């Protein structure tokens, strides 16, 4: 005999299944009947919606570590163009068929891609968000701008650069929110931006240029002050060429490990992390004469190698001694920007793809430009040329956030202090400039907070080392929706709970023995 409770449960289950089927049927109609949205400054060429059931987004090395499965979505492709730009921009919007949380989230890009498209849309929609991403009309190739940087006559494709730099941020926000409202019959209650690296730079663009587009903006390791920092990435390669010294990755790691060993205990706790790189005054010359093992071979550290490492940490400066940008922090890996390769048994430099392409395509405007010939003087000229020509387009570091503040937006920026690609001091300088313009920390903290993550590499890359923040996006949502400004971010070091403090505070070990989050305070 079935009990009344079991019969009631069975009937409720059948009703729920029937309701879900009805949602899917109705969604299919709504998905295929979407109309072109009206987007200021752009003409929508086409809109196509496709219902995808039990859809899977496959993993992609470096961008999506594990596949996303079981997606039931309305996948919308919107194609638009801007007047006089001769462009064609794709904006993709994914809309959950069930369980929409009432929020919209736009996702940023990586490298030379303005959006990672399905690779960010999948995880975001899985969490119940209406999600959007764009190719900015330049396609999806994070590693190279070869297909769009220059026009056939060899001149810079200015419209494509504008799309990549900032116009696509407005496109994805406006299109995504309009399609979301049309599909669900109501506006998203809250709208967000989420991005790291290039996506972080785009988030700053949103706050600076389109202050009322998003309620909350999460920015990770932003590629801020692009025309300057990208040229600065070439500095380690120039140093190695000028010094005629090309350290192996093993040698470079020895210096990083030595710096961590010396400066890790400064905060009172030895956990493999330099808590405050500014307090670290490691001298690379201490390793001169030391013997290390590299791939089964003993190597004696030479003075020339220590000189290279010291200059890489100091950062670029011109012939008069004026600093041009920052260097890498102690504790950061050196073998990305100071990368070398073996050619016929000899080591030579190998530039990181971002600075390599930027200098060749945009500054020199010559894809065959030989970066091996760049010396200290030439690099200083490249700094000047890059900043003069492109700062207003892609600098993305305007400190005037007053319009964003007045719109009620919240900006949460975090940056790993051991970032080996984008120098974290660039984010610190930006925060300081905002403070100076708007009248000090008390006038900024209520809408913009910066968190510096000790020991963390670029965008908390895999393997995630250091004090890795745990779900900073959730902290942003709480700030926007519950008005709870984040006094700290939850984090972990090798499985142990930690905290990350808002700049200029630093998490200091106050004792307790177990080195848990409770053993730290923001001081």
Domain boundaries, the chain: 28-229+394-484, 231-390
What gap in Å lies between CA 523 and CA 513, rounded to an integer?
A: 19
Task: Convert the pLDDT of each residue in 143-167 to its tens digit.
Answer: 999 999 999 999 999 999 999 999 9
Rounded to 5, what percent of the chain is helix, strand, coil?
A: 40, 20, 40
Helices (H), ranges, 233-282: 235-243, 249-263
Three-state secondary structure call for residue 106: strand
Write down the CATH number for the domain with range 28-229+394-484. Answer: 3.40.50.1820
Strand order in the sheet with 489-493: 468-469, 489-493, 496-500
List Cα–Cα distances, 424 to 62, 415, 449, in angstroms.
21, 6, 14
Provide φ and ψ at 390, rounded to 5°. Answer: -125, -5
Distance separating alpha carbons of residues 173 and 258, to the nearest angstrom = 46
What's the pLDDT at 26? 55
- DSSP lists the bridge partners of residue 104 as 130, 191
Q: Cβ neighbours of residue 209 under 8 Å, at least 6 residues apart? A: 166, 169, 170
Among 87, 118, 264, 419, the one annotated catalytic? 419
Per annotation, catalytic residue among 110, 191, 197, 248 = 197
Report the distance separating Cα 485 and Cα 410, nearest Å.
9
DSSP 504: T
What pLDDT is recorded for position 511? Answer: 86
C-alpha distances (whole Å) from 203 to each of 293, 322, 418 are: 44, 30, 21
Residues of the chain with confidence (pLDDT) below 70? 1-27
* DSSP 8-class letter at 457: -
Q: What span, in angstroms and rounded, lies between the C-alpha atoms of 54 and 77? A: 19
Q: Which two tokens stand for residue 444?
A: 């900024």
Output the pLDDT for position 169. Answer: 98
Q: Report the 3 state secondary structure along 371-382.
A: HHHCCHHHHHHH
How confident is the model over 235-277, as pLDDT tens digits?
999 999 999 999 999 999 999 999 999 999 998 889 999 999 9
Contact, 407 vs 211, CB < 8 A?
A: yes
Q: How many Å from the N-terminal Cα to the C-terminal Cα in the chain?
A: 66
Output Rg (C-alpha) for the chain, integer angstroms. 25
Closest CA to 355 of 227, 246, 199: 227
pLDDT of residue 420: 97
The answer to whether the CB of 16 falls within 8 A of the CB of 157 is no
Could you tell me the CA-to-CA distances from 457 to 65, 280, 369, 414, 461 in Å, in that order? 17, 17, 30, 12, 6
Active site residue 458: yes
Of 55, 241, 313, 458, catalytic: 458
Q: List the structure tokens of 305.
A: 């190698």
**How far is C-alpha 319 from the chain's CA centre?**
32
Count of other CB atoms within 10 angstroms of residue 462: 10
Query: For residue 331, what are the CA distances in angstroms to 128, 230, 252, 300?
Result: 38, 21, 11, 21
The pLDDT, as a whole number, for residue 512 is 77
DSSP 460: G
CB–CB of 188/177 below 8 Å? yes
**Can you say how many angstroms the Cα of residue 205 is from the centroid of all Cα atoms in its chain?**
13
What pLDDT does residue 15 have? 40
Per the CB < 8 A criterion, the answer to whether 274 and 281 are in contact is no
Largest Cα–Cα separation, the chain: 92
Q: Which of 189, 19, 15 is nearest to 98 (CA)?
A: 19
Neighbours of 86 (CB within 10 A): 12
Strands 507-509 and 297-300: unpaired
Active site residue 419: yes
Q: Are 214 and 193 in contact (CB under 8 A)?
A: yes
């Amino acid at each position: 005999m079935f009990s009344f409770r079991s019969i009631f449960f069975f009937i409720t289950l059948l009703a729920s299944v029937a309701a879900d089927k009805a949602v899917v049927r109705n969604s299919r109609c709504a998905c295929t009947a979407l109309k072109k949205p009206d987007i200021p400054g752009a003409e929508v060429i086409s809109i196509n919606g496709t219902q995808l059931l039990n859809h899977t987004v496959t993993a992609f090395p470096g961008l999506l570590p594990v596949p996303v499965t079981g997606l039931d979505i309305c996948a919308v492709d919107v194609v638009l163009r801007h007047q006089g730009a001769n462009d064609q921009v794709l904006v993709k919007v994914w809309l959950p068929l069930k369980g929409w949380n009432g929020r919209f989230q736009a996702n940023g890009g990586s490298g030379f891609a303005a959006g990672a498209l399905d690779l960010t849309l999948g995880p975001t929609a899985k969490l119940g968000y209406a999600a959007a991403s764009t190719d900015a009309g330049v396609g999806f190739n994070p590693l190279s701008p070869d297909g769009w940087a220059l026009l056939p006559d060899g001149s810079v494709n200015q419209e494509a650069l504008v799309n990549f730099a900032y116009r696509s941020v407005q496109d994805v926000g406006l299109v995504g929110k309009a399609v979301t409202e049309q599909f669900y019959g109501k506006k998203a209650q809250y709208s967000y931006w989420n991005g790291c690296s290039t996506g972080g730079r785009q988030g700053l663009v949103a706050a600076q240029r389109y202050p009322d587009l998003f309620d909350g903006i999460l920015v990770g390791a932003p590629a801020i002050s692009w025309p300057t920092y990208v040229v600065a990435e070439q500095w380690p390669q120039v140093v190695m060429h000028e010094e005629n010294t090309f350290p192996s990755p093993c040698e470079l790691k020895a210096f990083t490990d030595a710096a961590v060993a010396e400066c890790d205990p400064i905060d009172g706790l030895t956990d493999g992390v330099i808590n405050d790189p500014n307090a670290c005054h490691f001298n690379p010359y201490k390793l001169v004469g030391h013997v290390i093992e590299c791939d089964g071979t003993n190597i004696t550290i030479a003075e020339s190698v220590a000189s290279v490492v010291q200059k890489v940490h100091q950062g670029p400066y011109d012939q008069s001694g004026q600093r041009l940008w920052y260097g890498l922090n102690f504790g950061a890996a050196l073998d990305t920007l100071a990368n070398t390769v073996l050619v016929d048994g000899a080591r030579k430099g190998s530039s990181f793809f971002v600075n390599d392409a930027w200098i060749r395509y945009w500054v020199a405007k010559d894809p065959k430009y030989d970066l091996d010939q760049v010396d200290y003087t030439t690099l200083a000229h490249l700094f000047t040329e890059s900043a003069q020509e492109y700062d207003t387009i892609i600098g993305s570091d305007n400190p005037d956030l007053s319009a964003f503040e007045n719109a009620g937006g919240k900006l949460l920026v975090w940056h790993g202090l051991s970032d080996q690609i984008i120098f974290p001091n660039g984010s610190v300088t930006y925060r300081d400039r905002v403070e100076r313009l708007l009248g000090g920390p008390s006038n900024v903290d209520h809408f913009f907070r910066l968190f510096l993550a000790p020991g963390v590499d670029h965008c908390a890359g895999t393997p995630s080392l250091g004090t890795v923040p745990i779900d900073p996006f959730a902290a942003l949502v709480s700030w926007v929706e519950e008005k709870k400004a984040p006094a700290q971010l939850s984090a972990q070091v090798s499985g142990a709970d930690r905290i990350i403090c808002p700049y200029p505070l630093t998490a200091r070990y106050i004792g307790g023995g177990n080195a848990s989050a409770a053993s730290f305070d923001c001081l």
